[in-house]
Amino acid sequence: MNLPALIPPLLLSAFVASSDRDKRRLAEPRKNWGQEISRERNMDIIAMYHVSAGAKRRTVDDRTWLDLGMDELFAKMDRTAGMPGRQVLYHQMHTYEDDDRILAERTRQQAIFKED
């Protein structure tokens, strides 16, 4: 058996299997894009990261957050796959950002998602 001759077909097979997995992994988010994802959200748990990290920066106070219905907006925007993502999104929505570099990077990332 010529082992070096088997390597290219094995690599091709692994590449095709990986590509199929990637397509299946992207199918669900693409199907749900633009639609609200109905899921149970424990806002107290989601807010825990913000509470622990929020004191270092200017944040939207709880009263204003509630008056503006931001929990409902959060639910509409939430496309995260797990609790850490939900906690970071919640924190970002609660926190004022005035660093032009960070804002420019967020704008660049938003443009990428808008095009895709």
What are the pLDDT digits (tens) for 67-89? 999 999 999 889 888 999 999 99
pLDDT at residue 1 is higher than 60: no
A 10 A CB-CB count for 87 gives: 20
What is the average pLDDT across 52-72?
86
Q: Residues 94, 54: contact at Cβ < 8 Å?
A: yes
Which of helix, strand or coil describes residue 78? coil
Q: Give me the pLDDT at residue 52, please.
A: 86
- Residue with the larger pLDDT of the pair 27 and 90: 90
